[in-house]
Each structure stands twice: as structure tokens, then as C-alpha cells.
A and B are shown apart, each in its own frame.
Chain A
Amino acid sequence: GESVGLHLPTLSVQEGDNSIINCAYSNSASDYFIWYKQESGKGPQFIIDIRSNMDKRQGQRVTVLLNKTVKHLSLQIAATQPGDSAVYFCAEWGGDMRFGAGTRLTVKP
């Protein structure tokens, strides 16, 4: 399962599928963006970042896409695993780091 374009508070996918988590940011002057993963009872953990002079960046199993025209950010997770289950937040830097609404990803075995 995947979601495109629209931010969803929850997302449920089958193990092995690809996941897409979306985020809309608010400040057109923001020039740095980060995706964080937060597991229950823990602090946000850095996943991947992207600066505004790029529109795509790839990491290990994760890709971040940035569309500055519509102020949209997405996180793609390839071959989603049970350990990926967590809440995912995007954050934007526009003088300080502000978080968007999180998406709870649940991976079904």
C-alpha cells in the first residue's frame, strides 16, 4: 500500500511492499528538510535529509523527494520491514526546526 500526495495520519502496508509517506510544509523560505522516525517512548531518530537546492536524495532503502513548488515532501521506504513500524515526522528548517504532523506506519507481516 502507498499514499501519494495526501498526508495521512496512519499508513498500513504489507511487509516487503514500498511505502510512501507525505508531508506538506508551511514555510516557503525553509531551506533544509529532515525526515525523523520515532518509536514509542523514544526520541525522534534521523533518517534522511535534503536541502532546498535538491529535489531528490537517496539513502539506504529510503528516498526523499522535495517539491518546492507545492511545498511537499515525501519519504519512500523500499521493501518495508516490521522494524520500520513507527511514527514518521518531516521537519523543516526556517530559522528553527519545526515538525509537521506525523504518520504512523504499521507494517503487517
Chain B
Amino acid sequence: AAGVIQSPRHLIKEKRETATLKCYPIPRHDTVYWYQQGPGQDPQFLISFYEKMQSDKGSIPDRFSAQQFSDYHSELNMSSLELGDSALYFCASSQTGGNEKLFFGSGTQLSVL
């Protein structure tokens, strides 16, 4: 069965650079979530989209932005990267706007040097 696809799998950037993470949800899933997970930490909710509209916002820095496109894939744009942005970034998708189980991708490991 198709799963959530994230790219790239690993990304190395320097401070003050920008990064773009991509997420392709499971087919027919209309809701996408982004999470940030630091080493040894629980996943922290960043932002979610339902039917291409932002549905909820968590602890996402102003330097980050995201959107969901007409094909339901989503991109997380990160600017002015800081050392503390180094983390695993997960995307998850679900059906019908939420309140259903989330299916997670394998994540993008971002390292900011």
C-alpha cells in the first residue's frame, strides 16, 4: 500500500540558509500535518492543512511557512535556518480533515551546521 512520501531523506544546510521539505500524502488523504522532533523529544506539532487550507497551527516559528498544493502534496519552507532547527521533520496524512489516525512518513533529517 502507498505510504506518505517525504523528500529529501537527509538535508544538510548552513546557518541562515533556506530549506524546503516536501511531503506527498497517501492517495485520497486530504489532510497533511507537519511535526518537528528533536533528539530524544516527542514530535511537536507545527502546522496542518485540510483541503489546501491551513487548518491549525502549532509551535511553528515565523521563519517557517508551509502550503498544500492542488495535488495535496505539501511543502515546508524554512528560512534563516538556525542551529536549533536541526531535527527530524515528519509529515503525516489522514482522511476527512482529522480526528482519524495519522499515517507518518519516514521523515527528513535536517542538520544545520
A103: min CB distance to chain B, Å: 10
B77: min CB distance to chain A, Å: 20
B62: min CB distance to chain A, Å: 19
Chain B, Cβ-Cβ closest to A46: B101
Is B25 at the interface (CB under 8 A from chain A)? no
Interface residues of B, count at CB 8 A: 23
Collect the chain A residues with CB atoms within 8 Å of residue B58's CB: 96, 98
Inter-chain contact A96/B56, CB cutoff 8 Å: yes
Name the 9 nearest CB pairs between A and B, nearest first. Answer: A43-B104, A96-B56, A99-B42, A99-B43, A44-B104, A46-B101, A43-B106, A93-B99, A43-B90
A-B contact pairs, 13 of them (CB 8 A): A36-B104, A44-B90, A89-B42, A93-B98, A93-B99, A95-B98, A96-B45, A96-B56, A96-B58, A97-B98, A97-B102, A98-B58, A102-B42
Interface residues of B (CB under 8 A from A): 4, 33, 35, 42-45, 48, 55-56, 58, 90, 92, 98-107
